[in-house]
Amino acid sequence: MNWLELSVDTTPDGIEPVSDLLGAQGVESLMIDEEGDFKSFLENNRQYWDYVDDALLKEKRGKCRVTFYLPEDDGGWHTLGQVRLALSALKKAHPEYAPLLLSMQNVADEDWENNWKAFYKPMEIGERLLVVPEWEETGETERVKLLLNPGLTFGTGSHATTRLCLTALDRLIRGGEKVLDLGCGSGILSIAALRLGAARAFACDVDPACVNVAYENAALNGIGRERYTVRAGDVTADRELAREFGGDYDLVTANIVADVILSLAPRVRALLKEGGAFLCSGIIDDRAAEVRAGLEQNGWTVAEENSSEGWYCYLCR
């Protein structure tokens, strides 16, 4: 059997989160190379050299790498796609673990960029929605097609948090709504809302790269900027961005992380019209109770609670 040799570069503090992430995807055997190991090796083997090159010490400073192997078959490539998505989410939630660079040995860049695409297939979501990667062909269908090319941003629909939100949107959007998407990534949630019948959507993300990706995905679906606005910025700190949001939204979505949702809990009400809803996801199971309590303390009623693969989604009113 052939194997794919992969590695993730991170910081010392990122080793455990990366290892846990890989374990959650079924990767059990890891090799960890960290600065501390290198220093220990030097200390324990001084008898073999007279001096250590300072440049080499500097090169190793702060660098850690987690190496793992996957079988070079359909299952291995599928796992690789899931690891890539999970790393994107981790990088968004914890930029301090950067670079979180996933690399593969002996594979050309162009092959890397194309091979992972083979494992994103059309997905039926709820009663009406069909998420279709741009490079996939589908036949006639009565479902509402959402064409998507995630590029290097987070959001293809295959991650549990995104599926939970899309399933909720499939139920909630009935036509004419105004939607605000906080932490939009590829734009999948706000564009799905528009495809399902929402009248207008505003989306934002801290990653400036998401702006062009979201606009490009909107264009794939025939959605222009007269209905769709995307901006880059920190929704918890950028007052100018908050002013641009305006208000009177029927629905605010936030598929982010627990800490940001808790920070948004006291702010979102002012953005909604009477009777509007706050849909939040990206909440790992061991923080679900904490986030729910925080929402309720800020006056929200959790009207629906859904979970999948250890992730939670709350629909609040």
Name the average pLDDT for the chain.
84
pLDDT in tens, 266-312: 999 999 999 999 999 989 888 999 999 999 999 999 999 999 988 89
Q: Work out the angle at residue 219's Cα, subtended by the Cα atoms of residues 102 and 232, and round it to the nearest 5 degrees.
A: 55
Query: For 65, phi and psi rounded to 5 degrees?
Result: -140, 135
Confirm if 312 and 285 have CB atoms less than 8 A apart: yes
In a shared domain, residues 204 and 167:
yes
Percent with pLDDT over 90 in the chain:
45
CATH number of the domain where residue 189 is located: 3.40.50.150
pLDDT band per the 50, 70, 90 thresholds, residue 62: low
pLDDT computed for residue 78 by the predictor: 78
pLDDT in tens, 161-192: 889 999 999 999 999 999 999 999 889 999 99
Domain ranges, residue 106: 3-115
Closest to 166 measured CA to CA, from 189, 146, 182, 190: 189
Residue 116 or residue 28, greater confidence:
28
Longest dimension (CA), the chain: 76
Closest to 147 measured CA to CA, from 135, 162, 139: 135
Q: Which of 67, 95, 115 is the last residue of a domain?
A: 115
In a shared domain, residues 144 and 205:
yes
The side-by-side arrangement of strands in the sheet containing 101-104 is: 30-34, 64-71, 3-10, 101-104
pLDDT in tens, 106-147: 554 455 555 556 556 788 999 999 998 887 777 788 999 999
Cβ within 8 Å of residue 286, ≥6 positions away: none
In a shared domain, residues 268 and 179:
yes
